Amino acid sequence: MTLMELAEHEGKAKVAIAARVDGVLRDLAVRAPAEGKVEWVTVQDPDGIEIMRHSTAHVMAAAVKELFPEAKITIGPAIENGFYYDFDVEEPFTPEDLKRIEEKMGEIVRAADPFLREDLSKEEALALFSGEPYKEELLADIPDPTVSLYRVGNFLDLCRGPHLPSSGRVGAYKLMNTAGAYWRGDSRNRMLTRIYGIAFAKKKELDLHLHLLEEVKKRDHRRLGKELDLFSVNDEIGPGLILWHPKGAIVRRIMEDFWREEHARAGYDLVFSPHIARIDLWRVSGHLDYYRQSMFSAIGVEGQDYQLKPMNCPFHIQIYKSRMRSYRDLPVRYAELGTVYRYEPSGTLHGLMRVRGFTQDDAHLFLRSDQLDEEIFSLLDFTLFVLRRFGFDRYEIFLSTRPEKYAGTPENWAKAEEALKRALDRKGLSYEVDPGEGVFYGPKIDIKIKDVLGRAWQCSTIQVDFNNPDRFDVAFIGDDGAEHRAIMIHRALMGSLERFFGVLVEHYAGAFPLWLSPVQVDVLTVTDRHVEYGREVVAALRAAGYRAEGDFRNEKLGYKIRESQLDKVPYAIVIGDREVTDRKVSPRRRGGEQLPPVSVEEFLGTLRKETENRKP
């Protein structure tokens, strides 16, 4: 009896698409075990939906091979929300091709061809895949003597499986776009043509996801940046270089003020450093060896080479080194909103999220080794405190370990990795280990913040550095009167102000909380009769420290309300005959909620309450 027959017997044939036999995922076509645990896997199951998406990729590849027999197949896994498949073709697919492929997929789904598994020796498989060089290459790399193949209709693919019982069980899918992708993700390899698709169990879920994509588009910080006049990038200035317009600049200034205030409170000393330095500084720091591909070319000055800074650390180190330090002075914490410049390949630039010039909310901590654990622990605390103030309370945390290209000794790396791990464990934070993803000078904790739509953004980073102290001879005098090596921590909480601001814009869809809003209150008059009192109200709000603007134009109230709403101003207050007579204002919240008329004093109280503690 096969699992399929067993499923029929148990009345599960309609929902089961695979089975977990003693914890191992299997096709329904295989023989049911005489004993052992069988669990049915459905498309509701995370494993099940992945199988379905993977099978959809096969169906797509089958459709492509029918329409474009000369296309060479490569690989096509399931991914979040869907799947992709990479092909080697002479001419990349056009949107019209995608439409045809999608239709052909429909035919294959309607045909409900079974997915048939065949286990063959590698030699037999090689014979079947002659003319498919990528499959031959994959086969050559498989150590096992036998491999599994899956056939659906006329399409045969090398695959581990499992798969749906038949193509008829494929759910709702849609081909989205094509993209270039290197074979095996290596830029030295040939560029393939990738087709991305999304796939869900039900049409309704697919529609929901398409709706989500619309929402993402609406929140795009590049669109909102233009609509709300927050920032721009400009051809004549150059790609990846940001112009902060007045409204964006207000938000940035508030972010910076908050940051400075809290850092002073947390025991940091605020410093400033220049944007360029002699190239030798970067030779000593190791940047020239390990970071050169991210640096702009040197600048010749009176026969000497200077370098635009990609990081702030060497400067802070020099401040530390400007005098002798006692063990009693540590930890020394230098913080700077330091603007750095990094060469990023043009194809990677993206609005505010990936730029060539950005300001890090950087700090460097100089510690004794006995202070490392405690400092990292309180740093995690501080980081989460700052992030929460901006409305982020969900995170993905990664611990990145030693990369291939690194400076320092493996022993020191291990020590640092241990220290980071201990702090995370003590703080009770769950995290993933990212092997080999550390920076060249040390391991790090990265905190990705999750926005309202659940997307994760890399912002905060805490990096231990055992390298620079050696290179720059960063030392302190211990209680034994001898010189000791200090440990350094690099850290940024918001990461880059540009990226963090971009994330903020998307998180709030441009509707910033009151404390961050570029304009907090719009004062709208009904007719010319009310302008005088309107000016008075604007002046009173400004005198109290709020960002208020008056709209005294000769327009209908509805027109002004609409504009205020589109500008996402938190409060619009209406002033007409009634308000002038009673010396009151009628506030309306962004979103339409109408509040009762109150005196200006009372309204100020409302604002004060809403901005205290910088409520997100």
Partner RNA sequence: GCCGACGUAGCUCAACGGUAGAGCAUCUGAUUUGUAAUCAGACGGUUGGGGGUUCGAUUCCCUCCGUCGGCUCCA
- Looking at the annotation, which residues are catalytic? 313, 342, 360, 362, 364, 444, 490
Which of 19, 201, 365, 492 contacts RNA by CB under 7 A? 492
Angstrom distance (rounded) from CA 608 to CA 616: 14
Q: How far is CA 330 from the centre of its chain?
A: 34
Which residue, 151 or 402, has its beta carbon nearer to RNA?
Answer: 402
Q: What are phi and psi of 155, to 5 degrees?
A: -100, 130
Q: How far is the CB of 596 from RNA (least distance, A)?
A: 10
Q: How far is the CB of 541 from RNA (least distance, A)?
A: 17
ω into 513 cis (within 30 of 0):
no
32-91 residues near RNA, rule: CB under 7 A: none
Which residue, 272 or 559, has its beta carbon nearer to RNA?
Answer: 559
Which residue, 181 or 376, has its beta carbon nearer to RNA?
Answer: 181
Size of the site for RNA (CB under 7 A): 72
Which strands, in side-by-side order, build the sheet including 487-496?
Answer: 269-270, 332-341, 357-367, 487-496, 456-465, 444-450, 395-400, 432-434
Which residue, 180 or 300, has its beta carbon nearer to RNA?
Answer: 180
Angstrom distance (rounded) from CA 452 to CA 238: 32
346-385 residues near RNA, rule: CB under 7 A: 346-351, 354-356, 358, 360
493-522 residues near RNA, rule: CB under 7 A: 495-496, 498-499
Q: Where are the alpha helices (DSSP H) in 408-508?
A: 410-427, 468-472, 497-507
Angstrom distance (rounded) from CA 512 to CA 251: 9
Which residue, 162 or 443, has its beta carbon nearer to RNA?
Answer: 443
Which residue, 75 or 152, has its beta carbon nearer to RNA?
Answer: 75
Which residue, 68 or 327, has its beta carbon nearer to RNA?
Answer: 68
Q: How far is the CB of 275 from RNA (least distance, A)?
A: 16
280-309 residues near RNA, rule: CB under 7 A: 294
Which residue, 511 or 540, has its beta carbon nearer to RNA?
Answer: 511
Q: How far is the CB of 136 from RNA (least distance, A)?
A: 21
457-476 residues near RNA, rule: CB under 7 A: 458-459, 461
Q: How far is the CB of 396 from RNA (least distance, A)?
A: 12
Structure tokens at 445: 């904790």
Q: How far is the CB of 547 from RNA (least distance, A)?
A: 20
564-603 residues near RNA, rule: CB under 7 A: 565-566, 572, 574, 576-579, 586, 588, 591-592, 594
Task: Give the SS3 label for residue 409.
Answer: coil
HSE at residue 509, side-chain half, CA atoms within 13 A, is 14
Burial grade of 591 (CB within 10 A; 0-12, 13-18, 19 or more): exposed
Q: Would you list the DSSP string of 501-539?
A: HHHHHHHTTT---TTT-SS-EEEEESSGGGHHHHHHHHH
Q: How far is the CB of 39 from RNA (least distance, A)?
A: 33
80-109 residues near RNA, rule: CB under 7 A: 92, 94
Does 528 contact RNA by CB under 7 A? yes
Angstrom distance (rounded) from CA 9 to CA 320: 76
Task: Give the SS3 label for residue 224.
Answer: helix
Stretch that binds RNA, among 12-20, 51-59, 185-193, 315-323 (CB under 7 A): 185-193
Stretch that binds RNA, among 155-163, 340-348, 513-521, 543-551 (CB under 7 A): 340-348
Angstrom distance (rounded) from CA 108 to CA 525: 64
Which residue, 556 or 609, has its beta carbon nearer to RNA?
Answer: 556
380-409 residues near RNA, rule: CB under 7 A: none
Structure tokens at 608: 């004060």
Does 194 contact RNA by CB under 7 A? yes
Q: From start to end of 311-356, where are the E strands?
A: 332-341
Which of 235, 480, 601, 612 contacts RNA by CB under 7 A? 235
Q: How far is the CB of 495 from RNA (least distance, A)?
A: 2
Does 322 contact RNA by CB under 7 A? no
Stretch that binds RNA, among 23-31, 57-65, 167-175, 181-189 (CB under 7 A): 181-189
Of the candidates 75, 17, 8, 87, the one whose C-alpha atom is nearest the C-alpha of residue 46 is: 17
Stretch that binds RNA, among 200-208, 385-393, 408-416, 559-567 (CB under 7 A): 559-567
Q: How far is the CB of 235 from RNA (least distance, A)?
A: 5
Cβ atoms of 259 and 270 within 8 Å: the answer is no
Which of 68, 182, 327, 377 contacts RNA by CB under 7 A? 182
Classify residue 328 by its DSSP letter.
Answer: G
HSE at residue 160, side-chain half, CA atoms within 13 A, is 10
For residue 52, the one-letter residue type is M
